[in-house]
């Protein structure tokens, strides 16, 4: 499922590393099968054999996995490592965009208009998809828009070459090998010829940006032509997305979430994706929907503050979590939800973003984590990624200085830690 405009799928973390950094290090993954996973520990080891030697060894592994010699040799004809893939794989941008800038591009007026047009153009297919999978058509359309601009930007790299490069000398060779075997299985099945298997540098493919293992589990032939063609068939791509969301726990008729207002003196430590309460319980705590539409009170939800206590607040449901399994970035999931609402005339926010706050750079996030560690607060790995452990450490420190414990990293917080 960057981007940053992201791409899909649990283990395709490689693909959306840029997005995770762009949203203050919120972990980002791609559309992989639930349960979600990560590709493993990055490897700094350089190849100890030539690419030709590695290819021959891998050929034996592929054949042991059921790949025919013809499929392998055809797919690997003329394949050499792609240096640009390694550059992208190892890229760690220092400066990134804040969430409000990301959303401005992701939920642009042009994308909303294009999505509304596509909803009309694909009415029949979307009706059948809704009946089959029980996933709101606007959510499916929003993911299509986020992943490939409605099929217009699917990437241009040879997927076999990209994955072979990652398997040979990337940071996560196991990820590359697993995806490469899956890609060869797709070719052997006859869904797409090797010449048409194009995608991103990390191997995300087609209009839905599935990585190969996700494709093998969730791609469907919805137009009945005998091929699961997420490159050329919008029906196959949209149905495959709906199938993935359904498998990830999407609940028919349930909202992804909605903007809320918080009462004075609210305990911001409640804003944690690990805390889930019935919406009725949130309402008893003084949390109120901004719009007049009343959600189902029994539905479980978590409170999300994507820009800390100074920015808009949201209650998000299990459908939001289903989007997270497609791409494990809260910014991405929020963009999908707001874009889906915008297709229906909604999506506008009452809360204001703290646009006067400059986001922390990667080196500043690392410094913040180190200073939290030095003060006895455990932020987890000192890697510049603001994950659950770091947010918990921030909250613990914020409480000691009587600041709102929202777990959000800011320049002011870093300056206080520097004291």
pLDDT in tens, 242-282: 999 999 999 998 999 999 999 999 999 999 999 999 999 99
Comparing 288 with 171, which gets the higher pLDDT?
288
What letter does residue 270 receive in the DSSP assignment?
G
Supply the pLDDT for residue 16.
41
CA dihedral 265, 268, 269, 270 (to 10 degrees): 90
In the predicted model, what is the mean pLDDT of residues 392-405? 97
Instruction: Give the list of residues 6+ apart from residue 189 with CB closer than 8 angstroms, or none.
Output: 228
313 φ/ψ angles, rounded to the nearest 5 degrees:
-120, 150
Supply the pLDDT for residue 293.
74
- Burial track 152-171 (b if 16+ CB lie within 10 A, e otherwise): eebbebbbbbbbbbbbbbbb
Question: Which tokens belong to 385?
Answer: 């990624």
pTM: 0.89
- Continuous segment of H or E residues that includes residue 337: helix 330-343
Comparing 203 with 96, which gets the higher pLDDT?
203
Portion of the chain with pLDDT greater than 90, in percent: 84
**Alpha carbons 246 and 397: distance in angstroms, whole number:** 39
User: What 3-state class would DSSP assign to 316?
Assistant: strand
pLDDT for residue 156 is more than 60: yes
pLDDT for residue 311 is more than 70: yes
**Alpha carbons 255 and 272: distance in angstroms, whole number:** 19
307 φ/ψ angles, rounded to the nearest 5 degrees:
-125, 30
Q: Note whether 216 and 243 are within 8 A (CB).
A: no
Residue tagged 């697993």 (tokens): 178
Q: Which domains does the chain have, with CATH numbers?
A: 51-90+154-247 (1.10.8.350), 362-418 (no CATH)
Supply the pLDDT for residue 31.
53
Question: In the structure, what pLDDT confidence band is assigned to residue 14 with cuts at 50, 70 and 90?
Answer: very low
pLDDT in tens, 45-71: 578 899 999 999 999 999 999 999 999
Task: Find the length of the chain.
Answer: 419
Supply the pLDDT for residue 32.
45
Average pLDDT over all residues of the chain: 89
DSSP symbols for 21-87 = HHTTT-----S-PSSP--------PPPSS-HHHHHHHHHHHHHHTT--HHHHHHHTTT----HHHHH
pLDDT for residue 125 is more than 90: yes
Question: In the structure, what pLDDT confidence band is assigned to residue 348 with cuts at 50, 70 and 90?
Answer: very high
């Amino acid at each position: 499922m960057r981007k940053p405009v992201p791409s899909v799928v649990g283990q395709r973390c490689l693909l959306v590393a840029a997005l995770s950094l762009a949203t203050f290090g919120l972990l980002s993954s791609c559309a992989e099968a639930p349960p979600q996973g990560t590709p493993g520990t990055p490897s700094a080891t350089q190849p100890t054999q030539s690419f030709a030697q590695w290819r021959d060894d891998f050929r034996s592994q592929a054949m042991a996995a059921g790949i025919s010699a013809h499929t392998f040799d055809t797919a690997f004809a003329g394949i050499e490592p792609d240096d640009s893939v390694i550059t992208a794989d190892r890229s760690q941008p220092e400066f990134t965009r804040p969430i409000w800038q990301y959303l401005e591009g992701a939920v642009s007026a042009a994308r909303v208009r294009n999505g509304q047009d596509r909803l009309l153009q694909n009415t029949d297919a979307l009706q059948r998809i809704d009946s089959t999978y029980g996933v709101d058509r606007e959510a499916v359309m929003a993911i299509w828009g986020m992943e490939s601009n409605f099929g217009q930007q699917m990437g241009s790299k040879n997927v076999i070459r990209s994955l072979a490069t990652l398997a040979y000398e990337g940071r996560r060779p196991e990820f590359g090998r697993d995806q490469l075997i899956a890609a060869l299985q797709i070719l052997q099945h006859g869904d797409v010829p090797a010449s048409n298997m194009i995608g991103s540098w990390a191997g995300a493919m087609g209009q839905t940006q599935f990585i190969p293992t996700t494709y093998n589990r969730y791609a469907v032939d919805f137009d009945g032509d005998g091929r699961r063609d997420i490159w050329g068939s919008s029906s196959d791509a949209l149905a495959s997305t709906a199938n993935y969301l359904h498998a990830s726990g999407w609940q028919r008729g349930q909202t992804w979430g909605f903007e809320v207002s918080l009462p004075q003196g609210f305990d911001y430590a409640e804003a944690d994706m690990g805390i889930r309460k019935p919406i009725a319980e949130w309402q008893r705590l003084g949390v109120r929907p901004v719009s007049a539409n009343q959600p189902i009170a029994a539905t479980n939800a978590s409170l999300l503050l994507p820009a800390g206590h100074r920015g808009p607040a949201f209650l998000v449901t299990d459908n939001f979590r289903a989007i997270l399994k497609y791409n494990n970035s809260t910014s991405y999931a929020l963009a999908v939800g707001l874009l889906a609402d915008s297709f229906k005339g909604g999506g506008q926010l009452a809360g204001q973003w703290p646009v006067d706050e400059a986001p922390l750079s990667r080196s500043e996030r690392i410094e913040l984590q180190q200073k939290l560690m030095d003060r006895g607060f455990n932020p987890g790995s000192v890697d510049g990624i603001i994950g659950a452990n770091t947010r918990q450490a921030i909250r613990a420190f914020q409480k000691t200085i009587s600041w709102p414990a929202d777990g959000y990293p800011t320049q002011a917080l870093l300056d206080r830690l520097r004291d």
